[in-house]
Chain A
Amino acid sequence: MHIVVCIKQVPDSAQIRVHPVYNTIMRQGVPTIINPYDLFALEEALRLRDRLGGEVTVLTMGPPTAAESLRKTLTFGADRAVLLTDRYFAGSDTLATSFALASALGKIAADFGKPDIIFTGKQTIDGDTAQVGPGIAKRLAYNQLTYVSRIVETDLDAGEIIVERRAEGGIQLLKTKFPVLITMLEATNEMRRGSIENALLAARAEVVTWNATDIGIEDLTKCGLRGSPTIVKKVFAPTARSEKAQIIQAEGGPTGLAEALICEIFQRAPGVESDLYEFAASN
């Protein structure tokens, strides 16, 4: 079984700062991490491989420094890391990103064997679109399973896979055929720790590095900014609320504070008060 996991190196969003005057993102010194959602995909891939045999290839598109994140996945036990990097990819939106990744997946199939499963995370924390996975699936004509919470059964001989998928208001139990693209739901597993042995190997491992030409892209207008139908016209910081919270103060300890708070709540939100009385009456 050949499994590919798409990961993205992202800025640790908790630490993003916006320039107070120019409204630009200040990246200097902002640490990067592997998109947290992608770790659930990676762990699931590693578990499948451990159980069924085969290989896990990790793929990312990003700047040369993204090799660092790839190396990290090798310490967790991934078998191969592929970095897709080219200035032509800069500024890709989801359509252009899925184009580049799908092209790279074509070369991965040719060089290392056709992937039976491609995993992506549910979404990234910087882009946050959840659209790159479905985009890749469509381009490669893979069967698409998004928001998968559990892989129930894999039958390689029959070429079938059964999964639980998080749908609105419930779980769908779905059966489909390989090859599939799975976007893994968060909090579905716990990422393993890397082993020292793997860490030593990873430090010396080669990260396969390809550019646009390497993966056979002839039409560069499909890449990066030029290949992106969406255009970001404006980036700005959310307007800060001008007034801060009104701090409630009252005598009489917690009970006094609670009473004062309820009065204030009911005054500001009369609808809440009447709803509550209705709720109480119906109970």
Chain B
Amino acid sequence: MAEDTKPAPPAASGRANTKKELPEHFKAYKHVWVAVEIEHGQVHSVSFELLGEGRKLADKRGVDLAAVVMGDNRASLEEAARQAFEYGADLVYLVCDPTLAHYRNEVATRALTDIVNTYKPEILLLGATNLGRDLAGSVATTLQTGLTADCTELEIDEEGSLAATRPTFGGSLLCTIFTLNFRPQMATVRPRVLAMPEPTPGHSGTIVEHKLGLAEEDIVTKVLQFIADRDSDKAQLPYADIVVAGGLGLRSAENFQLVKELADVLGAEYGGSRPLVQKGWIPADRQIGQTGKTIRPRLYIAAGISGAIQHRVGVEGADLIVAINTDPQAQIFEFAHLGIVADAITLLPALTEAFAKRLRVNRLAG
């Protein structure tokens, strides 16, 4: 995306690229691809979300949707392929190679650029995860094509080009970006920004196998160890159905316990605003917002959070946002669905107790 901090160039001058003049050799580029993310045998759910969106784009263009699955374990690749078909892929490019055992930039870049150059997609989508962002930047630079990172919306315009919309300046603005004269048109999308599609059980397609032909000795970077997150079996913040978060309004790390207690009763994940990370009340991976996690729960409860734009962009995808704040003018009431003007320090325990009572009663009754 264009760097906006530099002095704006005089309008239209030098904008040779802004008209669509696709060079002849790019005209062979067809079909929409999703690079499926597989780590430790599991397909990342962002890949399903991308397949859902990719299906719509492919239908609009009247082309096929293909998934790229790469790894070292044939069984899990075939399982990933099966899932990709169920989520709408017509075609799967499968790369099985021992060097792809763990994600490494060098190998994955080589594999993906190889198949792009061989089979020529017009659109290539990746998840804006650490893996996807690591890979997309290298692949786009190698292919010398455009890449629009962290999109929130993908469309096909009247001319058949990919229109990728992404937030910029920390979400205070949105911009729509095109890669008119280069192929593939690349974009990444963060997890849970797109809706999770419904799979079609039994839907199947063609698998095209691609050989990589790399030798381990030729690869510089080695994975010495993988240390799984201790709570990796738990729902991660971006995937939680319910999230309870606190902000500076809670006034102390001790009071933050009230957030955790409510989260516990609800089986929810907890998080907080950035100042809480800076104060050391919560670990960095619990920060919600622009420079933290984007969440998309069914229910988000924010206690003592003012609702600054950087926080807002990370939570706007929640189905139902509940805000508890003492200040009726707080910005969070501009985008929350339900609000309570009250002291979170007394309201949170009351809420925890009321929820606990309901759940107890229901369990006895049920």
A interface residues (Cβ-Cβ under 8 A, vs B):
8-11, 13-14, 16-18, 25, 32, 36-37, 62-63, 87, 89-95, 97-98, 125-135, 137-139, 143-147, 162, 164, 166-177, 186-187, 224-226, 228-238, 240-241, 244-248, 253-255, 257-259, 261-262, 264-265, 268-269, 271-272, 275-277, 279-281, 283
Contact = CB atoms under 8 A, between A and B. Distances in A.
The residue in A97, A138, A229, A281 that gathers the most chain B C-beta atoms within 10 A of its C-beta is A229
Interface size band for B: 35 or more
Given A169-B39, A232-B175, 12 more contacts: A14-B310, A94-B137, A131-B147, A146-B133, A173-B225, A224-B9, A226-B17, A228-B146, A230-B2, A235-B168, A247-B341, A269-B298
A83 B142 CA distance: 26
B234 to A, nearest CB: 11
Contact of A257 (B2, B334, B347): B347
A95 B222 contact: no
B146 A169 contact: no
A137 B135 CA distance: 12
B347 A144 contact: no
A245 B337 contact: yes
Contacts of A127: 1, 3-4, 168
Contacts, number: 347
B14 interface: yes
B284 A186 contact: yes
B363 interface: yes
Given A18-B172, A174-B224, A230-B179, A247 B290 contact: no
Interface of B: 1-9, 14-18, 37, 39-40, 44, 102-106, 109, 129-131, 133-134, 136-138, 140-142, 144-150, 163, 167-182, 220-229, 232, 236, 241-242, 266-267, 277, 284, 290-291, 298-299, 308-310, 319-323, 328, 332-342, 346-347, 349-351, 353-355, 358-360, 362-363, 366
A138 B293 CA distance: 27
A233 B177 contact: yes
A258 B266 CA distance: 14
A172 B101 CA distance: 13
Contacts of B7: 63, 87, 90
B175 to A, nearest CB: 5
B298 A271 contact: yes
A258 B44 CA distance: 37
B320 A265 contact: yes
